Chain A
Amino acid sequence: MQRQTFKNLYVMKKNYLFPHYFQWIGWVIAIVSFVVLLLGVINDITIRMPALYVDVFFDDDNKSGFFRMTESSMYSIAMPLLIIALIFIGFSKEKVEDEFVQYIRSQSLIWSTYVSAGLFILGTLLIYGFIYMYIPYFVFFVFLLLFVIKFKIAIHRFNKGGEQ
């Protein structure tokens, strides 16, 4: 039993990637969520969201607590969608998903991890006050975004390269 699991992981080359067509689903979700975010910001739309926990800073009317309905911006809808979109775009299989593509993907991930870590360090050293709370969200988003950009550029170069 133990042996079988090992075999599945390493010999059968199990990977955690989505099927190729998820890339297109990802692009559609990305565009939709971007439009949602933009419209939400322009029209200053607020929505009611069910919350696991709400923390209100000056809690005069007892709005803090578990399992509440709360007001939020479109960001609460758009951000999860945008993250899912980036995951689908970056982590679905390429048309021919061979070992060189996987090598490029892992190199892009390493590069993106370094750059995001650098941004996080710089942000912590240079940015103070309330706005610092946004840094972790920003860094995680940038991490995914940079990975996708780096990977797609490398794949594009790779597909163009070569004789014949």
Chain B
Amino acid sequence: MKNRLKVARAEMDLTQEELAKRIGVSRQTINAVESGRYVPSTVLALKTAQVFGKPVEEIFMLEETD
């Protein structure tokens, strides 16, 4: 799964820390998701998308290998 979390964060001028606080995870988890080391649960993906006010597909998208 790919994500454009970093770009979305930059657009809204949010730090990893601020985003983490708003969805109730640690900053390192956001970092792991951004770097593609961790695929978040549906709940976490939905919460993230909610922060950016976008549908989840605009933040997270499937890859061909998925």
Contacts and interface: CB of A to CB of B under 8 A. Distances in A.
Contacts of A59: none
B25 A98 contact: yes
Contacts, number: 42
Interface residues on B, range: 10 to 19
A100 B36 CA distance: 12
Contacts of A99: 25, 29, 40-41, 44
A164 B16 contact: yes
A99 B43 CA distance: 10
Interface size range of chain A in the complex:
10 to 19
B31 A162 contact: yes
Nearest to A11: B43
Interface in A137-164: 158-159, 161-164
B27 to A, nearest CB: 7
B1 interface: no
Nearest 7 pairs of A and B residues by beta carbon:
A162-B31, A96-B26, A98-B25, A100-B29, A158-B28, A98-B29, A100-B38
